[in-house]
Chain A
Amino acid sequence: MTTAKQRRWWHGLFRNLNAKIAAIPMIFATMVIFVGCSLWTILYSFTKSKLLPVKLFTPPVEFQFPISLFNRSEDGWFTWVGFAYQWNGFEKLIVTKNFVGLAQYDRLLDATRNARWADSVENILFYGVFSLTFSFTVGFILAALIDQKVRFENAFRSIYLYPFALSFVVTGVVWQWMLSPDGIQDAINQFGAWAHIGFLETLPFKLMASGDTVIFALLLAGLWQGTGFTMVLMLAGMRGIDGEIWKAARVDGIPKWKTYIFVVIPMMRGVFITTLVIAASGIVRLYDLVVVLTAGGPGFASEVPAKYVYDYMFARSNLGQALAASSMMLLTVVIILIPWMYLEYGRKKQR
């Protein structure tokens, strides 16, 4: 029985060979990059691996013998990271020298000793909830307004969407300038002085100066860049709805806003969920905007998980800690994805 099965399997391997050759990049990307690299990261998050950033960028000299790995080199500790194919050293790393169990997670999640991670998580949660709520509400309203057969529809849509074509770097630079004390604040104050409106002359508007408000600077910039995207998806969803619904609602004398809330929104469930998943997994990896706009400051007030990972990985040479943090990011995305996949799968089954 087994031989027959084996033969069949072997025989099938070369059937449709061109398609398999064409799929090699995909198989490589899924197996080696997406699955392999993620597993590697999770595995090494249980170690106390460190690295020297200088060594990283040049081919390391300590390439020959696993034994030299745990010796102090002239630059400090160099541990055996990334030489997994030398099984000798790999085994040592996991079993004896470097394996520390959940210690990295312990350190990561201990809010009293590691306030930076706790702040990062808090920031991204606040940013995420606020930005999803806002971009969904505004995106939906704008889409509904544009859907009213307005004139210059294309012009309005282009204006709302163009920031999405710009990078977070460009977004960050512009808003950094606008939110600096010389920016909007100064313009308001000058206007106040010119129009003799007392409170405007001294009205403070420097979101980035204080740790309490800096997150709103990120939100302002991030929403400017991304709301158009939500709007476009919502608009696509609305256009996909059967026009008969509107006629029926009109015949029944239901006002338009009621139709939107009680008929259109439930019908757009699929669009909402997909937009939510895309937007949420984008928020989890928020990095560029923070680096450019606030650099995590003032203090650590606008730190985010992705930046934590990057800093521990490349600047602080504490790889184990960085990998533990990135594993937590992965876990977050998995928590977002599983209900979505469940829904998608369930829907497909129904068909």
Chain B
Amino acid sequence: MTKSIVTPRGQKPNRISAGRIILYSVLVVAAVYYLLPLYVMVATSLKDLDQVREGNIFAIPLRASFDAWVKAWDTACTGLYCEGLKVGFWKSVQITVPSVLASIAIASVNGYALSYWRFRGSEVFFTILIIGSFIPYQVMLYPLVIITREMGIFGTLPGVIFIHSIFGMPILTLLFRNYFAALPVELFKAARVDGAGFWGIFFQIMLPMSIPILVVAVILQVTGIWNDFLFGVIFAGTKNWPMTVQLNNIVNTTQGVKEHNVNMAATILTGLVPLTIYFVSGRYFVRGIAAGAVKG
């Protein structure tokens, strides 16, 4: 950008053509469409209830305050309790952190084994794993209820962590397998000659080299698990419902007046974690979501 400021303006008169203007207007219009809900969310959450009742959702908040945010966090009612979103937030943290750690630990070792220590049938399992990621969750839902119940973890935090670890496996294994496969194989061979074994090579050579892909995996999993609704509702149990489920309960609760400013504040609070991750680490985020598509 600094470069374009330095270059003289008269140099490229043909750059600002009619086509260029149309191009930028289309891009800007599209950007406005995409930003509008975010604006409505933020603006509504800052309004007081009187202004919300006046209508016109696009109006700028007149008496901006964070009261609705405080209420959404602390005292908003989910139908049964009036403890706000903070309960769901901490449950989401309790679900997300172990799920992310477990699924990445499993998938990184697995991807490493699949790229350097293939055994008979390993590729078959991997293929089934990738195909399995396309199976609708509904197909496996009830058997999983039975499995987790028999394990004694249905309706608990370990239960939902178990489920997330399983369903995170396909994409993460693919991610790590492709990453390790792209590393120079001489590295592995040299370590073998030096007498390092399976775990030695993994912990001393592969893991220190896989920081970028670990970041991608963490971002992918944190956003994915934080945004989950279905597994949380079924496997976590009513006491452990994550933030997304609580948000739905707050917004779609039938009792009382609809406080749209509180609802929107709750929505922002729920979206804040993935949004922050997204804006802080845009490039890694894109790499994560594209990983499944680029090499299927």
User: How many chain B residues touch the partner (CB < 8 A)?
Assistant: 98
Contact B117 A34 (CB under 8 A): no
Chain A residue contacts of B41, Cβ below 8 A? 174
Q: Does A69 contact B (CB under 8 A)?
A: no
B146, closest chain A residue (CB): A82
Chain A residue contacts of B55, Cβ below 8 A? 182, 186-187, 190
- CB < 8 Å neighbour of B140 from A38, A224, A236: A38
Chain B residue contacts of A16, Cβ below 8 A? 117, 119
Number of A-B contacts (CB under 8 A): 278
- CB < 8 Å neighbour of A186 from B4, B56, B110, B154: B56
A190, closest chain B residue (CB): B56
Nearest-neighbour CB distance to chain B for A49, whole angstroms, equals 9
A256, closest chain B residue (CB): B19
Q: How far is the CA of A34 from the CA of B34 in the complex (A)?
A: 37
Contact B27 A145 (CB under 8 A): yes
Q: How far is the CA of A255 from the CA of B296 in the complex (A)?
A: 33
Contact B125 A162 (CB under 8 A): no
Contact B296 A29 (CB under 8 A): no
- CB < 8 Å neighbour of A309 from B30, B138, B227: B138
Considering residues A20, A32, A37, A325, which has the most beta carbons from chain B within 10 angstroms of its beta carbon?
A37
Chain A residue contacts of B143, Cβ below 8 A? 36-37, 40-41
Nearest-neighbour CB distance to chain B for A320, whole angstroms, equals 11
Chain A binding surface SS class:
helix
Considering residues A31, A177, A313, which has the most beta carbons from chain B within 10 angstroms of its beta carbon?
A177
Considering residues A26, A171, A229, which has the most beta carbons from chain B within 10 angstroms of its beta carbon?
A26
Chain B residue contacts of A162, Cβ below 8 A? 34, 38, 275, 278-279
Within residues 136 to 192 of chain A, which ones have a CB less than 8 A from any CB in chain B? Answer: 141-142, 145-146, 148, 150-151, 154, 156-178, 182-184, 186-187, 190
Q: Does A103 contact B (CB under 8 A)?
A: no
Q: Does A128 contact B (CB under 8 A)?
A: no
Chain B residue contacts of A287, Cβ below 8 A? 138, 229-230
Chain A residue contacts of B146, Cβ below 8 A? 81-82
B202, closest chain A residue (CB): A22
Contact A169 B57 (CB under 8 A): no
Q: How far is the CA of A183 from the CA of B52 in the complex (A)?
A: 10
Chain B binding surface SS class:
helix
Considering residues B138, B143, B228, which has the most beta carbons from chain A within 10 angstroms of its beta carbon?
B138
A148, closest chain B residue (CB): B23
Chain B residue contacts of A325, Cβ below 8 A? 138
Contact A330 B135 (CB under 8 A): yes
Q: Does B66 contact A (CB under 8 A)?
A: no
Which of under 10, 10 to 19, 20 to 34, or 35 or more describes the interface residues of A?
35 or more
Chain A residue contacts of B36, Cβ below 8 A? 178
Q: Does B213 contact A (CB under 8 A)?
A: no
Interface mask (B33-56 → A, CB under 8 Å = 1, otherwise 0): 111111011001000000000011
Within residues 213 to 249 of chain B, which ones have a CB less than 8 A from any CB in chain A? Answer: 223, 226-230, 234, 237, 244-245, 247-248
Contact A25 B289 (CB under 8 A): no
Chain B residue contacts of A323, Cβ below 8 A? 142
Chain B residue contacts of A36, Cβ below 8 A? 143
A sample of 10 more A-B contacts (CB under 8 A), given A275-B293, A326-B138, is: A25-B106, A26-B106, A41-B139, A156-B27, A160-B31, A170-B271, A176-B251, A285-B138, A330-B139, A333-B136
Q: Which residues of A contact B (CB under 8 A)?
A: 12, 15-16, 18-20, 22-23, 25-27, 29-38, 40-41, 44, 56-57, 59, 81-82, 141-142, 145-146, 148, 150-151, 154, 156-178, 182-184, 186-187, 190, 224, 228-229, 232-233, 236, 271, 274-275, 277-278, 281, 284-285, 287-288, 291-292, 295, 305-306, 309-310, 313-314, 319, 322-323, 325-327, 329-330, 333, 336-337, 341, 344
- By Cβ-Cβ distance, the 3 closest A-B pairs, closest first, are A34-B132, A167-B227, A19-B117
* A-B residue pairs in contact (CB < 8 Å), sample of 16: A12-B120, A26-B125, A33-B132, A33-B144, A37-B143, A38-B135, A38-B140, A167-B226, A169-B247, A175-B37, A281-B134, A288-B244, A319-B142, A329-B136, A330-B139, A333-B134
